[in-house]
């Protein structure tokens, strides 16, 4: 991979984490945002933000971004990197993270593009990355923590 090579990146999830990363990276790379909510996909493709974030709204409206959104997980097929920003709802009574959405993305990526590097940006429990590497016999799953504020996510990423 050359230093300034344009990459194909898929981002799973278009909440604050996923959409801010998609907008940030689409300034220099081809990014496909994948979500399960048709209204969010439609808004992004109209260059409108489905979430309240001044920077995301401004960048979508004014910047020349290489960003498309889709409901179709086939978008992972051509990705060099898949950034997983799927929800992991935490149940404080059970002390449990629901990582089923993250694992669903991992399974789909493994099916259509097992060579892609998967970067988990979702909030996950300690040891989760090692456990899914073992479970799916896949060494190309990594974790990159996020520390973003809602409505300031793109600003924090920048």
| Buried/exposed 60-71: b ≥16 CB within 10 Å, e otherwise | beeeebebbbee
What six digits make up the tokens of 143? 């974790």
Identify the pLDDT of residue 48. Answer: 97
Strand, helix or coil at 48? coil
pTM of the entire predicted model: 0.92
Residue 5 has pLDDT above 90, yes or no: no
What six digits make up the tokens of 18? 């996923």
Identify the pLDDT of residue 108. Answer: 97
Identify the pLDDT of residue 149. Answer: 78
Tally of CB atoms within 10 A around 133? 16
Is the CB of residue 11 less than 8 Å from the CB of residue 153?
A: no
For 44-72, how does the pLDDT look when each residue is reduced to its tens digit (9 = 90+)? 999 999 999 999 999 999 999 999 999 99
Residue 3 has pLDDT above 70, yes or no: no
């Amino acid at each position: 991979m050359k230093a300034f090579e344009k990459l194909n990146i898929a981002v799973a999830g278009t909440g604050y984490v996923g959409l801010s990363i998609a907008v940030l990276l689409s300034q220099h790379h081809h990014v496909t945002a994948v979500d399960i909510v048709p209204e969010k996909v439609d808004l992004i493709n109209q260059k409108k933000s489905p979430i309240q974030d001044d920077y995301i709204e401004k960048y979508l409206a004014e910047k020349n971004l290489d960003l498309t959104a889709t409901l179709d997980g086939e978008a992972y097929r051509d990705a060099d990197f898949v950034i997983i920003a799927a929800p992991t709802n935490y149940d404080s009574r059970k002390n449990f993270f629901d990582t089923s959405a993250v694992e669903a993305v991992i399974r789909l990526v493994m099916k259509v593009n097992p060579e892609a590097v998967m970067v988990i940006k979702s909030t996950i429990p300690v040891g989760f990355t090692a456990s899914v590497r073992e479970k799916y016999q896949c060494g190309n799953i990594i974790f990159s923590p996020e520390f973003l504020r809602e409505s300031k996510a793109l600003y924090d990423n920048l």
